[in-house]
Structure 1
Amino acid sequence: MTALRRPSPGALTAALPRVLAAFLLTALALLAGTAVLSQPAHAAGTGLDAVADALKKSPVYVDPRVREQLPDADRNALAAKIRDADKPVFVAVLPDVPEFPRATLLRDLRTKVGITGVYAVHLGANGFNAGADPQVLSHNAARNLTEAARNSHKGDAKAMVTDFAQQAVGQARGAAPSSWNEGDGGSATGLLIGGAVVVAGGVGGYALFRRAKKQREERERAELAALQVVVDEDITAFGEELDRLDFTPSEPGATDAMRTDYTGALDAYDLAKSKMAEARRPEDVRPVTEALEDGRFALATLAARRTGAPLPERRLPCFFDPRHGPSTADVPWAPPGGAPRQVPACAADATRIADGLEPMARTVQTPGGPQPYWDAGPAYSPWAGGYFGGGSVLTAMVAGTLLGSVLSAPSAYADSSFAGGPEGGSESGADFNPADFGGGFGDGGGFDGGGLDGGGFGGGDW
């Protein structure tokens, strides 16, 4: 009798992809056939829980009572555009009824869906509002897109939500939630999907890991590219200060202390350039701005020694623009709609604030146009951390700004890049700060109250 031969591990490994491929192709074929018969997801019932359940499965939900505002064909087309863009943008068209209270609707919807993203709601005949988690879309961008859609398409729900969604997917960060890919073709489809998951769980897990890794790397590359521009400006500005310096170590009256200060400034300049050249991730920028701050303090100390003035106290740099050099005083300041706090300022900015003028704030380019660095996004966290030391000091200074919302998030310090919490499209549940869910108008996520103060999750005048 011929002995049976056990297949080698290599043979099994080689055969597994073919088995999986055959199974998955069969599953996909059955799913495709089922999908023809299925309709886009709509949860049973019409309350906020039903809306949230539907948005977990599809980017667009239309309440049956207002279906004429966004007919099925238009709803499906808009959902397809959002899916194809692979962005976490959620749209709901709802009737103006007590079960959807204006004052808390956006915030409550974000809580129940539990996914980081951009949320837009058309309510009743003319109401429209939107909000976004700051790591997905800045407060200013969400607010401006909301106003533009509202003003451009009064009385036209279809045009309003379509315009907003198309603009939002072009600017939102992150990816569509994985739950949108689950479909809803009934129990047979559910069983088929379950079987495919059991067989291909390992393959799917690896694919999700690769996708998340790719998204993180793409985000980091984009953030580092933005930081490169800003840091190069900082390094150039410090180099120009050194060029203007009329000091030579051998000049009459030069002391060893002066020469030490001068050498320290030169070393800081060289270190900043070399660290920036080595930077590969956004957090690598922090040592660059730390070196620049050390160099500017060395120059301030040198200037005091040469004039016989008292040596400067080691203070934080000017909050409004670290290129202004070490601060000379703490002054009261508040972001729009925020609470006043004391921030360090250079002499020129302290005088401007005392005279009732705006300080000379450092602005950087964003998709929404030039913004002060504290409202430009999470990428500037390590940049600011190098100047101001990060931690509670920086968080207190930027409270109420986009950067402040990033630093105060529970996950803000999960890594040194201050990524600012779950990326767009990831499940975060109810763990979000409603004061940071920005855009729309007013506070608290409602549709009443008016005012372009940018607070809360949406809010304001529907």
Structure 2
Amino acid sequence: MRRNPLSLLAVLAGLVLSALLALAPAAHAQASEGVREAAQALRQGPVYVHPEAAGELPEREAQALERKILDADKPLMVAVLPDTEEFPEETLLRELRTLTGVTGVYAVRLGDAFDAGADRAVMAPQAVGNLVSAVHGPGVDTGTELNAFADQALPQMRGSAPSSWEGVPDAGGTPVGGLITIGVLLAVVAGAVSLTTVRGRNRKRAEEREALEKLRVVVDEDITAYGEELDRLDFQPGDPSADDAQRRDYEGALDAYDKAKQLMAGARHPHDVRGVTEALADGRHALAVLAARREGRPLPERRAPCFFDPRHGPSVTDLTWTPPGGSPRDVPVCAADESRIKAGQDPAARQVATESGPRPYWEAGPAYGPWAGGYYGGALLPGLLVGTMLGTTLATPAYAGEYGGEGFAGGDFSGGDFNASDFGGDFGGGGWGGGDFGGGGDFGGGF
């Protein structure tokens, strides 16, 4: 099984944290015995089935699911639990995450309900929520649901399986003399982590600079194209035929142009580009509204830009499109691309530079994530790009941490091993009525 380059440090950290947890068992006294048992089991393997829920996932199916996760070498933890007071919906996922202490994705079948959560360094909350909605429904049995979730989650996850799954010892108690050893281990880990952090920051800065330069070429082309649209616009605010509404639309279009130029001039990180393309999308919508007012047409609704090239302007409809080797999906298209597709022709796709030559932007790397995200938004984009090269990166830290995905937390991923138990707001996704976990709501939607 592939190991993280820092696996030795991870093992040391795991030993240290296990010992410290043994010294302070009261820290999680509020969790039920059942939750603690489930967490203990998940430190030792990826799948736990509570005895009272054994009928939901037979042993053979549980073993097959466990083998699938182990073969993928990803930190996916799955628990099948009975819907009893011992496993409270409101706190269950966060308690499991805290007590297990493993950075990863946690999927729980609680009776007939299902939900999941993730550390943002492993998978974005929006991606987790989308997967939960996709696999959970009335009448779906536990095995089908969990396997469907694993099949879709594993390719999107970052990180490695925790070392504890390979037999890292779990300290059951720490004698007084062992505190000296713990102190030494902590010092070693702290020094190594400090050095690794410095190297990681330098690497990240270099990658960000390279990504920003790629984006600068594309965004400058977009700004230039929008400026040319403004130059071609036959509108004079002082014309007697112009009314106040038209003048406001025109001013909004000009303001968007100025804003885009200013934001791009001040961009220092890839995620700064998102504001630039958001401004350009706002400006093109203002132009579309202005044109409708001048021509006496109904004002257009606010729609996403044309999927194939945002420079085409706001879309006019959604059409089913299938990328090479991918699955069909509905994408927003402009009138010109609608005509091309209906005529059996290829749409006019936006090309960007790649190592293999010019390719459509959805076949490029994660550097183009914030550029596309500004046009289409974090919630819409994954569905449009599912199965494409860019789409597979949207739920990973390569996009979220380094390239600025919506609602994602940055930072390098530590490798799926033991971490501290105070996670703040960095664990989220899935259901519970939306948002991050720990806030109540229905578990899995009440199916």
State the one-letter code of the partner of 1:272: A
Structure 2 Cα separation of the partners of residues 367 and 421 of structure 1: 29
Cα displacement string for residues 26-68 of structure 1 (whole angstroms, at most 9, x for unaligned residues): xxxxxxxxxxxxxxxxxxxxxxx6xx579999xxxxxxxxxxx
The question of whether the paired residues in 2 share the 8 Å contact of 1:262 and 1:302 is answered with yes
Match of 2:394, SS state, is helix
Aligned partner (choices 376, 382, 395) of residue 395 of structure 1: 382
Q: Is residue 257 from structure 1 mapped to residue 245 from structure 2 by the alignment?
A: yes
Q: Which residue of 1 aligns with 2:392?
A: 405
Distance 1:56 1:283, change over 3 A: closer
The question of whether the paired residues in 1 share the 8 Å contact of 2:397 and 2:411 is answered with no
Aligned partner (choices 105, 111, 136) of residue 72 of structure 2: 111
Q: Which residue of 1 aligns with 2:372?
A: 384
Q: Is residue 293 from structure 1 mapped to residue 281 from structure 2 by the alignment?
A: yes
Distance 1:262 1:329, change over 3 A: same
State the one-letter code of the partner of 1:346: C
Identity across matched positions, percent: 53
TM-score by length of 2: 0.51
The higher relative CO (CA closer than 8 Å, separation ≥ 6) is in 2
Distance 1:271 1:425, change over 3 A: closer
Q: Which residue of 1 aligns with 2:213?
A: 225
Q: Which residue of 1 aligns with 2:311?
A: 323
Cα displacement string for residues 312-337 of structure 1 (whole angstroms, at most 9, x for unaligned residues): 22111100000000111111101111
Structure 1 Cα separation of the partners of residues 319 and 280 of structure 2: 23
Aligned partner (choices 307, 320, 323) of residue 332 of structure 1: 320
Structure 2 Cα separation of the partners of residues 364 and 421 of structure 1: 27
State the one-letter code of the partner of 1:216: K
User: What's the CA shift for 1:228?
Assistant: 0.6
Match of 2:390, SS state, is helix
Structure 2 Cα separation of the partners of residues 253 and 205 of structure 1: 68
Match of 1:361, SS state, is coil
Which structure 2 residue ranges, 5 or more long, are not aligned? Answer: 8-67, 76-162, 164-182, 418-447
Match of 1:390, SS state, is helix
Match of 2:318, SS state, is strand
Cα displacement string for residues 229-282 of structure 1 (whole angstroms, at most 9, x for unaligned residues): 110000000000011111111123111111111111110000000011111111
Structure 2 Cα separation of the partners of residues 225 and 347 of structure 1: 32
Cα displacement string for residues 392-429 of structure 1 (whole angstroms, at most 9, x for unaligned residues): x1111111111211124488656771399999997469
Structure 1 Cα separation of the partners of residues 3 and 295 of structure 2: 70
User: What's the CA shift for 1:302?
Assistant: 1.2
The question of whether the paired residues in 1 share the 8 Å contact of 2:367 and 2:399 is answered with no
Structure 1 Cα separation of the partners of residues 376 and 301 of structure 2: 15
Match of 1:228, SS state, is helix
Distance 1:241 1:200, change over 3 A: same
The question of whether the paired residues in 2 share the 8 Å contact of 1:406 and 1:418 is answered with no
User: What's the CA shift for 1:299?
Assistant: 0.9
Which structure 1 residue ranges, 5 or more long, are not aligned? Answer: 1-48, 58-106, 115-178, 180-194, 430-462
Misfit runs of 4+, over 6 Å: 53-57, 107-110, 195-199, 419-426
Aligned partner (choices 282, 296, 308) of residue 308 of structure 1: 296
Match of 1:317, SS state, is coil
Match of 1:332, SS state, is strand
Distance 1:210 1:329, change over 3 A: same
Distance 1:317 1:310, change over 3 A: same
State the one-letter code of the partner of 2:381: L
Distance 1:277 1:199, change over 3 A: same
Structure 1 Cα separation of the partners of residues 393 and 292 of structure 2: 38
Match of 1:267, SS state, is helix
User: When the two structures are aligned, how many residues end up with a matched partner?
Assistant: 260
State which structure, 1 or 2, has the greater radius of gyration over its C-alpha atoms: 1
TM-score by length of 1: 0.49
The question of whether the paired residues in 2 share the 8 Å contact of 1:289 and 1:386 is answered with yes
Q: Which residue of 2 aligns with 1:266?
A: 254
User: What's the CA shift for 1:216?
Assistant: 1.1
Alignment of 1:24-39 (within 5 A): none
The question of whether the paired residues in 2 share the 8 Å contact of 1:328 and 1:344 is answered with yes
Alignment of 1:76-115 (within 5 A): 111-112=72-73
State the one-letter code of the partner of 2:292: A
The question of whether the paired residues in 2 share the 8 Å contact of 1:384 and 1:390 is answered with no
User: What's the CA shift for 1:204?
Assistant: 2.8
Aligned partner (choices 341, 358, 382) of residue 346 of structure 2: 358
Q: Is residue 240 from structure 1 mapped to residue 228 from structure 2 by the alignment?
A: yes
The question of whether the paired residues in 2 share the 8 Å contact of 1:272 and 1:288 is answered with yes
Match of 2:326, SS state, is coil
Cα displacement string for residues 205-241 of structure 1 (whole angstroms, at most 9, x for unaligned residues): 3211100111111111111111111100000000000
State the one-letter code of the partner of 1:279: A
